[in-house]
Amino acid sequence: MQFIPDLMKSIMAQTYQDFNVLVIDNGSSDGVEMFLREHYPDVVLIRNVRNLGFAPAQNQGIRYAVEHWPSSDAKDQFVLVTNPDIIFTPTYLEELMVEVHTHPEVGSFGGKLLRAFGENLADEVMKETVLSDRFDSTGLNPHRNFTVTDRGAGELDQGQYDTQEKIFGVSGALVLYRGQALIDARYKDEFFDHDFFAYKEDVDLAWRLQQLGWDALYVPQAKAYHYRGMYGAEKNGLFEKLKNWRRKSSIRNYYSTRNQWLTLMKNVQFVNGLLALPWVLPYELARFVYVLFFDKGLRAFLDAGHLVPVMLAKRSATRAKSKRSATEIQKWFM
């Protein structure tokens, strides 16, 4: 409830108005349903009795959208996935929709996502939202060790990301997907990987869309703000990364670690894996040792192992439809 009012207000203030809103309530207990019924009765609400996780809940919403589209041409239908802690500028959708028809090869679109902060005022009851000039994400940025970070995270906006360009993928906090791209990436009833629960499911989907021949486009004119609870600067050194890791909850570290390994299982092609081994092996070994001794990470390792057969089946499904070679994909990780 602390975010929904500002989110809904900014959605309804969009200059582009050809959309429907669907809210997935993952078992909340703080009055979201009552608020929506009272203030936004036309919004479709799907309420889960418990928290199913980010990925399963988003899949619910995407399936609902696909089943209710008035046209069978999914290339002209779009799904905007948004976290609840987002604030849109009024022209966000308009700026993205300008690009969707001129870039039919693009399966996902994203804008300039900056950070929002909540400041406590003197009485500690009222809060003021600060819309900052510090980047949250300008797209997903892949590295040689097969990690993927939010491009520009933590930097001040000084015009360094003002160029529209193709990127590897878009952060799942706020991303516009072309319907046909989602359908191409679908595995049974999944678009995001259901088994990820939360964290890195956007990286996995971006990677799969690249393999399936879909590009991603960064549109800097489209601007929004994100409160993001789990963040750090993209260019932190190892010491700062370890400190940031320690500040995060154990459950977030568990899913982040486990899902990194699941992402590698599903998406790294054999040749690319061999070429990147000098960078991947030390990093993942250090990750394993750290979580094992300092974050009770054995569970993450064991659970990733149990999911190997499932991940390999999903990997095969993507490879069967792949339109890009290992060399084309590897260019992103150089």
Q: Per 3-state DSSP, what percentage of the chain is helix, strand, and coil (rounded to 5)? A: 45, 20, 35
Is the pLDDT at 88 greater than 80, yes or no? yes
- What is the pLDDT, as a whole number, of residue 251? 84
Question: Per the domain annotation, does 233 fall within a domain?
Answer: no
**How many angstroms separate the CA atoms of 177 and 164, rounded?**
17
Question: Per the domain annotation, does 115 fall within a domain?
Answer: yes
Q: Work out how many domains the chain is built from and give that number.
A: 2
If pLDDT is split at 50, 70 and 90, which confidence band does 235 have? low
DSSP string, 62-97: HHHHHHH-SSS-GGG-EEEEE-TTEEE-TTHHHHHH
Residue 243 shares a structural domain with residue 222: no
Residue 256 shares a structural domain with residue 314: yes
Domain limits at 189? 4-226
Last residue within a domain, chosen from 226, 250, 279: 226
Residue 220 shares a structural domain with residue 259: no
For range 15-27, the mean pLDDT: 96
- What is the pLDDT, as a whole number, of residue 61? 96
Sign of the dihedral defined by the CA atoms of residues 254, 239, 264, 226, in that order: positive
Element (H, E) at 176: strand 174-178
- What is the pLDDT, as a whole number, of residue 326? 94
List CB contacts of 117: < 8 A, sequence separation 6 or more: 129, 130, 132, 227
Last residue within a domain, chosen from 202, 226, 250: 226
Is the pLDDT higher at 60 or at 122? Answer: 60
Is the pLDDT at 230 greater than 90, yes or no? no
Question: Per the domain annotation, does 321 fall within a domain?
Answer: yes
Say what the pTM is.
Answer: 0.91
Question: Per the domain annotation, does 314 fall within a domain?
Answer: yes
Predicted confidence (pLDDT) per residue in 272-311, tens digit: 999 899 999 988 888 888 777 776 567 888 999 999 999 9
Amino acid symbol at 250: S
Return the CATH number at 174.
3.90.550.10
DSSP string, 278-296: HHHHHHHHHHHHHHHHHS-
Question: Per the domain annotation, does 218 fall within a domain?
Answer: yes
Residue 177 shares a structural domain with residue 101: yes
- What is the pLDDT, as a whole number, of residue 252? 85
